């Protein structure tokens, strides 16, 4: 296997590169990556050139890792391949992330590459159980409520996370991502909050392609959960990556925040 990492923001691409030092790293103009110094930079407008280069390097497998914003395509920079693919890409971009990423995976696989998930390269998911703290009995209703909301939203391809406190939905993850959701919750008026502290539940959508968009938490997530005044985090066993699990658990214990991997209650 000759691996290429399509690298976005965050620590995951660097973790994969450390474990697979011979992997070729691809970065994109305008997209932040911790591997910028060693990344081979490409433009989204020149996907044909990218695929040709990867074939020349003998790449057989591709992992998409790290956060990437939706690109704007400069029409004067398009190569022939991207120009022909652009109408369908733009159409896919009017839908949720899962729809768009499925389209990108199909595009990559049509060019002869195998797309694999980061979790097939690194042991990042967790078995069922409590990772940190203790789950208070009074938040079980909130967890059930969050699962109910996520189940309803899942077919709409909206987001992977929801915050519920004292039975009330304080925020739903949308295209802006987890940080935006938790910042919004942190800014909620005190009269709408409970002294118990709500829960952040993050799970994959139904039938989601987990190779390219598996839910992910890490130490910074716990920082944001603490700032939002929440009591804990719930993730799905085997279907949510925990980056730097040791530091994530230490951070949770420091803030007295629970983390539990548990199946949906809905």
- Where along the chain do its domains lie? 3-120, 129-261
Position 266 scores a pLDDT of 67
| Cα separation, 265 vs 247, whole angstroms | 28
**Which residue, among 256, 171, 214, has the nearest Cα to 10 in the 3D structure?**
214
Low-confidence ranges of the chain (pLDDT < 50): none
Position 157 scores a pLDDT of 84
What is the homologous superfamily of the domain 129-261 according to CATH?
LpxI C-terminal catalytic domain (3.40.140.80)
**Which residue, among 104, 37, 49, has the nearest Cα to 79 in the 3D structure?**
49
Position 95 scores a pLDDT of 84
- φ, ψ of residue 232 to 5 degrees: the values are -175, 175
**CB-based burial label for 175 (10 Å; 0-12, 13-18, 19+):** exposed
Residues whose CB is less than 8 angstroms from the CB of residue 163 and which lie 6 or more positions away in sequence, other chains included: 146, 169, 170, 171, 172, 181, 182, 185, 198, 199, 200, 201, 228, 230
At the topology level, CATH places domain 3-120 in: Rossmann fold (3.40.50)
> What is the crossing angle of helices 47-56 and 80-92, to 10°?
120
Position 60 scores a pLDDT of 98
Helix (H, G, I), strand (E, B) or coil at 208: coil
**Nearest-5° angle of CA 208, CA 221, CA 138?**
90
Paired strand residues for 114: 61
Position 72 scores a pLDDT of 84
Residue 258 host element (H or E):
strand 258-261
> Are residues 66 and 9 in contact, defined by beta-carbon separation less than 8 angstroms?
yes
């Amino acid at each position: 296997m000759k691996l290429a990492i399509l690298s976005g923001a965050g620590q995951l691409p660097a973790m994969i590169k450390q474990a697979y030092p011979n992997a070729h790293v691809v970065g994109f103009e305008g997209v932040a990556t911790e591997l910028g110094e060693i990344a081979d930079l490409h433009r989204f407008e020149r996907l044909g050139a990218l695929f040709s280069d990867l074939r020349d390097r003998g790449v057989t497998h591709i992992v998409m890792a790290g956060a990437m914003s939706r690109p704007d395509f400069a029409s004067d920079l398009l190569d022939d391949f991207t120009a022909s693919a652009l109408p369908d890409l733009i159409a896919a971009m009017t839908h949720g992330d899962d729809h768009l990423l499925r389209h990108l995976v199909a595009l990559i696989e049509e060019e002869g590459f195998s797309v694999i998930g980061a979790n097939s390269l690194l042991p990042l998911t967790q078995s069922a159980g409590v990772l940190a703290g203790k789950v208070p009995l009074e938040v079980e209703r909130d967890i059930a409520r969050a699962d109910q909301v996520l189940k309803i939203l899942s077919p709409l391809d909206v987001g992977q996370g929801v915050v519920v406190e004292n039975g009330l939905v304080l925020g739903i993850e949308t295209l802006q991502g987890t940080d935006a959701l938790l910042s919004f919750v942190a800014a909620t008026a005190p009269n709408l909050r409970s002294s118990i502290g709500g829960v952040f539940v993050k799970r994959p959508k139904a039938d989601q392609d987990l190779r390219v968009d598996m839910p992910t938490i890490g130490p910074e997530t716990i920082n944001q959960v603490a700032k939002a005044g929440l009591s804990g985090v719930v993730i799905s066993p085997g279907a949510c990556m925990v980056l730097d699990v040791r530091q994530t658990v230490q951070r949770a214990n420091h803030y007295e925040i629970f983390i539990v991997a548990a199946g949906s209650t809905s």
